[in-house]
Structure 1
Amino acid sequence: MKYNHIVAGILSAFWCASLAPVLADTIPVNNLVQIVASDSATAKTVAWQDSSGRRDYTVTYRQKGSSETARAFVTSPKRPPVYDAEWVPPYTYGAYMQGLRPDTEYEYEIADADGESGWFPFHTTTEQLNRYEVLVFSDTQSTDYSVWGQTAQAAYEAHPGAAFFTVVGDLSDNGQSWYQWKAWYENADILTSYMPIAPVLGNHEAYSLDWKFCEPYTYKALFPVPYGAPEGQSRLAYSFDYGDVHYAALNTDYEELHELYPDMMEHEVTWLDQDLADARKRGKRLVVLMHRPAVTATYRALPDINGTYFMPLFDKYHVPLVFTAHEHCYARTEPLIDGRPGEGGTTYISTGRAGTESYTDTVKRYCDAAYYNPTDQPMYLTLAVEPDTFTVTAYKTDGTVIDTASIAAPSPSGNAMAASAGTSKGKKKGRKVVQKPAENRSLQKKHSTEEPGSWQKEKPDRIQK
């Protein structure tokens, strides 16, 4: 990353009294990032890197202003195999802070035998937070990662109050190239300095330097995502709660990984079935993140193996919204159930590309209500979580609006799920999707003249790195 965190100055005796009688030296914390935690109201996860592989790191946290501290669980240092002697990856550490109080100010400190970092503040959300914004990117893989950096910069400047961001797979063009990951991190810095990331495994994360299928070692080392993966797939799939929404990030790399994980789809379906059932019982709304689409846009426009396995569960649990990637085009389906436009169905949104790589062979599918191939410039999306509604807007990097749609997403603990008039093409009725025309709309100015949502009004503190 561009910035190494070095806390300057002298920490007050008040802050250090509960830790040590003598003021310790300040230590650097390199590439400090926030990872989405299992529950935004009760947990916090951070990760950082160093080249030594030392095992004496501790992370202490406390409520702000309190002298009572607790220790986080710190993972052992993880580093992928060294594939290129000229680009040796660092060790990555993760710290899981659990048992926090909702809507409470906390602070944490990283320490080793040489000193302490100083305190980093954070604030847990309420348990039923139902209004916030998420930045959605995909396929940041690039021949020039500064293009990804420009996309990240544009998204952050237009939406500085986003709660977290996700990259729906293919973060790196070659998953075992530390040269590429280093460039990815440097250009993601504008985002990772302010908000957590929810990474999603893509197929390019499972390529070796000689472009053969392999275990995604580097991806797994870099991202200490929440525990609770499908059997045998630690860090490849996971889920988390952010406010009143439950997100499931899936592993769709059957083509690349089925020889390593022969029963991966069966295990993942078993896990996802239980995961979505538990989330519904807790009164959570549902969003799924998956790299490969359930219905392909390229070639046949038919469900692939991921659609065959996962779409029945999306129907069973009335998942309102699924974000996909892989095909580098933007496509929003009509609400689908059993693979066809239908009442109470799921809207699938393919999220384009945020890096340099554009494709020309994608096609509009039979089920698409909106389609755009971003060959001219990269793009990103926003998900505005609101009571009873998910509003998704797709932007070009220059701020031009490609498409926007509002999807009914009531809480399962509330009224029965809404299903009303279908899409603009007048096909079968589906979950209500309100489309808004994109003509003549641009966000080239930083903000529109409309009053921003509450998620846009406050800019979070930057992590000083």
Structure 2
Amino acid sequence: MKLRIFSLLPLLPLLSLLSCQLVAHPEHKLRHWEQASPDPDRIILTWTGNTATSQSVTWRTDTSVKEASAEIALALPKARFDEGAKSYKARTEKLELVDPAKVVVHYHSVEFSDLKPDTLYAYRVGSGDRWSEWIQFRTAKAQAAPFSFLYFGDAQNSILSFWSRIIRAAYKKAPHAAFSIHAGDLVNTAHKDREWAEWFKAGGWIHSSVPSIPVSGNHEYTNLKIDGVDKGKQLAIQWRSQFSLPPAGDLPNSLAETVYTLTYQGARIIALNSNREIETQAKWLEKVLSKNTSKWTIVTMHHPMFSSGAGRDNATNRKVLKPVIDKYKVDLLLQGHDHTYARGHTPVRMSDTKSSKIKSLYVNSVSGPKMYDFRKDGWNTYKPEGVLLARKAVKTPFFQVIDVEDDWLTYRAFMANGELYDAVRLHKLADGSKELHPWKDDLGKER
């Protein structure tokens, strides 16, 4: 047999390329979808301005992408709808992660402005030859009109394994939903990037096509160490980079992008930060509600006004926030934290058991797998404060679909298998008062 000798010289360029690819992700403990690259990932829609004429988008890359942009076009039915797409230069900021340590990434954000109300758009984000797919969203109508939205309590633990089925079941149930409210504890450990990676992967393209209204929970605050220096308990370092949220100029910087308000088709949505500076927020909330002209008002915060988890209580919320909520008769409060399910209401008069008139509807919920026991006395402890518990559950994750149409607000809580567990309707009367209407069908036994 003749011995053949091959030269490796012609292969050196290929070997060099393979070598570069092998070291492209130096953190081998991370899975490929957790690591930033030149390709856009963690794309998410939020709002910083008018929901009818603007839309914000944020995404992540590695630090090789120094400049990025977003393109937007009318989502016309023709094949090349992208011809004539408008380009927006992105704001780019560097973020040094602390877990995993010393990993630096770039976040990019754009606010699409001067959009047409009630219009379907397609957009993409990227740079050079690295672009996302084209993704569609619809702007809000400029006036009051029917809409639906999703609500999720704490995702928090085993997010990719368990919460994935909840958010995907929610989208399947209500693909027409205008936005999603995430009522705090999106993750378990504020600064741990692996958990944020799971949250984004679980939602996938839902995050990039259905705008999010995120609320900060207690697990979005943990101690932060930078170069060995303890900075104390801080908001997740990713929060303000990955979510573009409305500014509130009359609030301190410590509450920036955690306390804000939006109006969507005749409904006022208010997000509070129940972790800190409650008195400051109560004054701000009073100011917002005193000028509120929307027919429906929805407040979301993490710590519930009336706790449903065993051994839990948030007395400061009731002392400081509830008087404002009662004064302006906020319609619906969406909360989390207690890893149980509870729905109740504050009657106009506790002594009038025949009246269906109420001030506010209160919900505590959970969408992840972490579960607590329900407090033994239900909400009996809170009866002197004027609230009644209507339905509860334990050891069951939920998602909610809420429909707003004219004088009616319909609340429905679904289990992961898509079955209805709880539902109720609110009717807004001409004088602004509300009647609570029980669901017409049997909802089955409590879990």
Equivalent pairs counted in the alignment come to 390
Residue 126 in structure 1 maps to residue 141 in structure 2:
yes
C-alpha displacement of 1:405:
0.7
CA contact (8 A) 2:422 2:443 kept: no
Counterparts of 1:116 and 1:159, CA distance in 2? 28
Give per-residue Cα distances to partners, 1:373-402, cap 9 Å, x unaligned.
331x32111111111111111122122322
Deviates most, 142-151 or 41-50: 142-151
Counterparts of 1:309 and 1:178, CA distance in 2? 34
Matches within 5 A, 1:424-439: 431-436=434-439, 439=442
Aligned AA (1:267): T
- Partner residue, 1:427: none
Residue 162 in structure 1 maps to residue 177 in structure 2:
yes
Counterparts of 2:233 and 2:204, CA distance in 1? 29
Residue 76 in structure 1 maps to residue 92 in structure 2:
yes
Give per-residue Cα distances to partners, 1:275-315, cap 9 Å, x unaligned.
223332xx452101111012223468866212222222222
Question: Alpha carbons of 1:354 and 1:190: their partners in 2 closer, same or farther (altered >3 Å)?
Answer: farther
CA contact (8 A) 2:310 2:373 kept: no
CA contact (8 A) 2:124 2:135 kept: yes
C-alpha displacement of 1:63:
4.9
Residue 152 in structure 1 maps to residue 174 in structure 2:
no
Aligned AA (1:404): A
Give per-residue Cα distances to partners, 1:65-112, cap 9 Å, x unaligned.
7987766574332525423239x4733222112232212344445354
Counterparts of 2:243 and 2:350, CA distance in 1? 33
Matches within 5 A, 1:51-450: 51-52=62-63, 54-61=65-72, 63=74, 72=88, 74-79=90-95, 81-85=97-101, 88=103, 90-110=105-125, 112=127, 120-143=135-158, 145-189=160-204, 191-208=206-223, 213-228=233-248, 230-232=251-253, 233-254=255-276, 264-280=277-293, 283-298=294-309, 304-336=315-347, 344-351=358-365, 353-363=366-376, 364-366=378-380, 367-375=387-395, 377-409=396-428, 415-418=430-433, 431-436=434-439, 439=442
Larger Rg: 2
- Going by fraction, where is strand more abundant, 1 or 2? 2
Counterparts of 2:281 and 2:65, CA distance in 1? 34
Residue 33 in structure 1 maps to residue 49 in structure 2:
no
Counterparts of 1:334 and 1:315, CA distance in 2? 11
Question: Alpha carbons of 1:183 and 1:373: their partners in 2 closer, same or farther (altered >3 Å)?
Answer: same
Counterparts of 1:90 and 1:28, CA distance in 2? 12
CA contact (8 A) 2:47 2:244 kept: no
C-alpha displacement of 1:417:
1.2
CA contact (8 A) 1:394 1:401 kept: yes
3-state secondary structure, aligned to 2:268: strand
C-alpha displacement of 1:409:
3.9
Aligned AA (1:292): H
Counterparts of 1:374 and 1:147, CA distance in 2? 16
Question: Alpha carbons of 1:92 and 1:306: their partners in 2 closer, same or farther (altered >3 Å)?
Answer: farther
Counterparts of 1:109 and 1:145, CA distance in 2? 25
Percent identity of equivalent pairs:
22
Counterparts of 2:281 and 2:351, CA distance in 1? 24
Question: Alpha carbons of 1:108 and 1:401: their partners in 2 closer, same or farther (altered >3 Å)?
Answer: closer
3-state secondary structure, aligned to 1:170: coil
Query: Which runs of 5 or more structure 1 residues have no equivalent in the other structure?
Result: 5-26, 255-263, 419-430, 443-465
C-alpha displacement of 1:129:
4.3
C-alpha displacement of 1:118:
7.2
Query: Which runs of 5 or more structure 2 residues have no equivalent in the other structure?
Result: 1-30, 76-80, 381-386
Question: Alpha carbons of 1:433 and 1:28: their partners in 2 closer, same or farther (altered >3 Å)?
Answer: same
Question: Alpha carbons of 1:394 and 1:193: their partners in 2 closer, same or farther (altered >3 Å)?
Answer: same
CA contact (8 A) 2:144 2:266 kept: yes
Question: Alpha carbons of 1:434 and 1:369: their partners in 2 closer, same or farther (altered >3 Å)?
Answer: farther
C-alpha displacement of 1:318:
2.2
Counterparts of 1:339 and 1:309, CA distance in 2? 21
Counterparts of 1:112 and 1:338, CA distance in 2? 60
CA contact (8 A) 1:79 1:92 kept: yes
Counterparts of 2:238 and 2:128, CA distance in 1? 27
TM-score, length-scaled by structure 2: 0.77
Aligned AA (1:433): L
TM-score, length-scaled by structure 1: 0.74
Aligned AA (2:109): G
Question: Alpha carbons of 1:42 and 1:296: their partners in 2 closer, same or farther (altered >3 Å)?
Answer: same
C-alpha displacement of 1:54:
4.1
RMSD over aligned Cα atoms? 3.4
3-state secondary structure, aligned to 2:209: coil
C-alpha displacement of 1:335:
2.6
Counterparts of 2:39 and 2:45, CA distance in 1? 16
Aligned AA (2:101): A
Deviates most, 302-311 or 127-136: 302-311
Question: Alpha carbons of 1:215 and 1:197: their partners in 2 closer, same or farther (altered >3 Å)?
Answer: closer
